[in-house]
Amino acid sequence: MISIIENDKKRKLFFLNTISTSLVVMVHEDNYVFLPYWGSRIEAIDIDYIIDGITEANYMADTDNRKKFQLEVIPQIYPSYGYTDLKEPAFHFVHKDGSRITDLRYKSHNIYKNKKKLEGLPTVLSEDDSEVLELVLFDDLKQVEVIITLAVFEKHNAITKSVKVINKNSADSLYIEKIASANMDIQDSNFEFLHLAGAWGRECHIKRRKLEQGMQSIGSARGASGHGQNPFAALISPNTDENNGEVYAMNFVYSGNFTASAEVDMHLNTRFQMGINSFDFGWTLMPNEEFQTPEVVLVYSNKGLGEMSRTFHKLYQDCLMSRKYAYKERPILINSWESNYFDFNKESLLKLAEEGNKIGAELFVLDDGWFGKRDDDKSSLGDWTPNEKKLGGSLSNLIDEVNKKGISFGLWVEPEMVSPDSDLFRKHPEWAIQVKNRKIETSRHQYVLDLSNPEVCEYIVNFMTELLSKNNISYIKWDMNRNITNMGSSYLSPERQKEQAHRYMLGLYSVLEKIVNAFPNVLFESCAGGGGRCDAGMLYYMPQVWTSDDTDAIERLAIQYGASLIYPSISLACHISDIPNHQTHRKERIETRANVASWGNLGLELNLNKISEEDKKVISEKLELYKSIRSTVQFGSLYRLKGLDAGNEYAWLYKSIDEKTIVVTYVQINVRPNLVTKRLRLQGLDAKSQYKVNDSSKIYTGEELMNIGLLLGEILEDALSYQWIIKKIS
Ligand code: DGJ
C-alpha cells in the first residue's frame, strides 16, 4: 500500500508499506529525494525528523552553503556524483560537453496499481498485489530525466526497484557509464555482508563477513551471472540465523554482468547498491532515447533468513515464474547425461527410457550428443540437425518410440554457442563473439554467438521453432557452457562496443520471450554448466534450473542450502546419481542420495541398466514417496533446521500449503564416535495441533515436536540420512 503525507515544510513522505515492512521515501523542499527509512512496518506518520536530526560532519561540503545539509551524510534514493556527496554514486553520466555532474531533483510522481512489464526484461508482476510509485527526477541543465520505479507487493512483503533514463535533450547525446538499479542508504553499519559464492561444481555457498569501513563488493564480468557469485546480497545484523536477526536483501532479476556493493562511509552509514556491472559497460543515449535497467527485488526481514527465503520463494512462485508452471507439479525426469554422456544409440536410449518408466520416472531427457556429428564436445554446436545414424532414424521417430514406452520426451540444446568445427561457424564466422584480427579463445572447444546481433537471435528463434514444431518435445534443457572472453562485436559500431554484454542479455531475453510464448506446453529448464546462470532473470522465462553439475549428495547439501536462500524448491532441479559419484568419487547409500534430491525438484541421472536390483527397488519406492509429497515440497514452505554453519549436519522441513503434511529430512555427513542420541527440533508447526510421525502409534503435539523434537536414533555411518513424513491429525 502506498500512502503520502505532506507536512508543513512542504515535504512529501511516501510510505511504501507491505504487511510487515515499510520503505519511506521523502521529497525534500529542495526537491532532493531522500530515503529516511527501510525496515519493520511503521504507520504513515511525519518522520522527517530523521533527516533534520542528522548532525553536521566535519570536512564535508555544505549543500548550497547551508550548514547541516550535506548530501553525503543524508540517506538518498539515487545519489549523484558531483555536488556534496563524494561516495559511490548510483549512476554516472558523461554529458556531451564532457561534464560529469548531474543534479537530479524531484519533478513529479505517479502512483498506480498493477505494475507493468519492463520492456524487454524479466519482471516481477502481479495484477492483484502490486502498486507502483514512479518518481520522476530531472536535471534542468542537461534535460535528463530519471524515473525510479518502486513497486510494492504488499501481501508478498517485497518491493522492486528499477530505473529508467530518458535523454530529453533534443540536441545532445548522453553517455551512461554506470547505472545501478537500486541504491539503499542505511544509517547503520553494524552488519555482516552475506552472499552466495563458489565455482563450477560448488555454487552458492553461503559466505558472511563483518562490514568494515570501505567498499565490499561482489559481481560478475563473465557475460553471465556466473558460478562465482550469485546476483544476491544481504546486509544482516550480527548473529543473524534462520529465525532471528534483521536482513536487508537484494536479488537481481538479471542474468548478465552485475555488481552488488556495500560501502561503509566515514560516518559508519552503509550504501547498498545493485545493478549492471559498470566494468566494460557504456551506453549512448541519442536525443529522446531511453534506457531501462533490470530490476532488483528488495526484501526486509526481522525474523532472520528463514523468513527472507519464504518471502522470495512465494514472490517468485506467485509473481515471477510462468503462471502455467508455478503451481504445476514437475515431472520426475531421467536424464541421459551421467548415464551415457555422448555414448548412446537408439537401443540404449530406449532401454533407459523403458527402465525409467518402470521405476517411476515421467520424462525421458536426451542430453548432449544427438545432433551434427557430435560424439564428444569438440564439434557441431550450431548444426542442430539430428544425427539420424546415431538415433537410428529421425528424431520424431525416436520420440514416438520413447512415448510408446509410456514416458514423455525432453531434449538438451545449447543455442547460444557455436563450435569452430561446425557448418554454422564456417558460414558465419562473424557471428562468434570476437575482436577483429585477434584470436578467439575456446572454452570447452566452443565459441559464444553474438546475441547483440538481431540476425543471430533470429537464427536461434528459427531453429528452435522448427525443432519444437516438428517434434513432440515436452521439455527443453537450455544449456550455456562457457563464459564470454574476447568481448567484441562485428555487428556493433566502435562507439557501441561497451553495450555488447547488456545487448547480449537483451537479445537472449527477446529470444526466450518468443520461444517460451510460442511453445507454452514445453517446460524449460535453464542450465549453464549447472548453476552458472541460476538467477531470477532466467526464472522468469524458464521455471526450473539445473542447480549444479555436481550431483554428489554431500556436496549438494551446501549448494542446495545456499540456492534455497532465494530460489524456490520447485525451481531447483536435484538428481539422484550413481556411485562412485562422477564429480567426487564419493559413495553414499542410495537412500541418502534420494533424500537429498528430494530437497527440490527431483530427477534421475544414472544408468538404470547398470545398477543393482536392490538400489532400483529403493529408487522406485523413493519416487513413489516423492510423488506423494511432491506438492508439499514444490508448493509448500521451507524451514531450514540445520546447516547454516555448513557443519556436519543438515536438516530441512517442508510444510504443505494446507499445513497438514510435513516432510522432514536430516543428513549427518561424518559419523562421530561415542555420541549419544540427539533430537531434531522442528519449526513451523501449530503448537496445539496433534501430529502423527510416519507409522508410529505415538501422537505428538506441535509443541512437543518444536521444543523437544524428533529422536534421531543411532547414526553410525557416514552420509546417513533420515526422512519423516508427518501428518497433522487434529
Ligand atoms: C553441462 C550440463 O550442466 C550437463 O548437465 C550436461 O547437460 C552437459 N553440459 C552436456 O554437455
Protein residue with its CA nearest to atom 11 in ligand 1: 368
CA-CA distance, 543 to 6, in Å (whole number)?
Answer: 43
CA 422 – ligand 1 centroid, Å: 19
Structural contact between residues 96 and 173, judged by C-beta atoms closer than 8 angstroms: yes
Protein residue with its CA nearest to atom 10 in ligand 1: 368
Task: Tell me, yes or no, if the pTM score tops 0.95.
Answer: yes
CA 491 – ligand 1 centroid, Å: 29
User: Catalytic: which of 479, 535, 550, 615?
Assistant: 479
User: Catalytic: which of 368, 549, 550, 552?
Assistant: 549
Protein residue with its CA nearest to atom 6 in ligand 1: 337
CA 255 – ligand 1 centroid, Å: 19
Q: Which residues line ligand 1 (CB under 6 A)?
A: 337, 367-368, 412, 479, 481, 527, 529-530, 546, 549
pLDDT of residue 68: 86
- Which atom of ligand 1 lies closest to the CA of 546? 3
pLDDT of residue 715: 86
CA 358 – ligand 1 centroid, Å: 25
Protein residue with its CA nearest to atom 1 in ligand 1: 529
Cell numbers at 32, concatenated: 532532493
Residue to mutate (ligand 1; options 335, 527, 550; most atoms within 8 A of CB): 527
pLDDT of residue 674: 87
CA 415 – ligand 1 centroid, Å: 13
- Which atom of ligand 1 lies closest to the CA of 412? 7
- Which atom of ligand 1 lies closest to the CA of 528? 3
CA 412 – ligand 1 centroid, Å: 8
Q: How far is CA 467 from CA 96, 367, 400, 456, in A?
A: 48, 15, 15, 17
Per DSSP, the residues of 351-394 read HHHHHHHHHT--EEEE-S--BTT-SSTTS-TT---B-HHHHTS-
Within 10 Å of residue 383's Cβ, how many Cβ atoms? 20
- Which atom of ligand 1 lies closest to the CA of 527? 3
pLDDT of residue 472: 98
Structural contact between residues 592 and 576, judged by C-beta atoms closer than 8 angstroms: no
Residue to mutate (ligand 1; options 371, 412, 551; most atoms within 8 A of CB): 412
Residue to mutate (ligand 1; options 417, 481, 575; most atoms within 8 A of CB): 481
Within 10 Å of residue 520's Cβ, how many Cβ atoms? 11
Cell numbers at 422, concatenated: 561446425
Q: Which residue has the cell 562485428?
A: 490
CA-CA distance, 106 to 125, in Å (whole number)?
Answer: 26
Q: Is 549 a catalytic residue?
A: yes
Q: For the range 656-660, what are the long-range contacts, defined as Cβ-Cβ under 8 Å and sequence gap of 24 or more?
A: 656/631, 656/632, 657/631, 659/686, 659/728, 660/727, 660/728
Protein residue with its CA nearest to atom 3 in ligand 1: 529
CA 478 – ligand 1 centroid, Å: 9
- Which atom of ligand 1 lies closest to the CA of 477? 7
Residue to mutate (ligand 1; options 333, 335, 337; most atoms within 8 A of CB): 337
Protein residue with its CA nearest to atom 2 in ligand 1: 529
Question: Mean pLDDT, consecutive 10-residue segments, the chain of 730 residues?
Answer: 94 97 97 98 94 93 91 97 96 98 98 98 97 98 98 98 98 98 98 98 98 98 98 98 98 98 98 98 98 98 98 98 96 98 98 98 98 98 98 98 97 98 98 97 98 98 98 98 97 98 98 98 98 98 98 98 98 98 97 98 97 97 98 98 97 98 97 91 98 95 98 92 97
Cell numbers at 72, concatenated: 553525503
CA 717 – ligand 1 centroid, Å: 32
681, 684, 690, 693 alpha-carbon torsion, rounded to 10°? -50
Closest CA to 622 of 589, 649, 653: 589
Protein residue with its CA nearest to atom 5 in ligand 1: 549
CA 481 – ligand 1 centroid, Å: 7
CA-CA distance, 91 to 5, in Å (whole number)?
Answer: 28
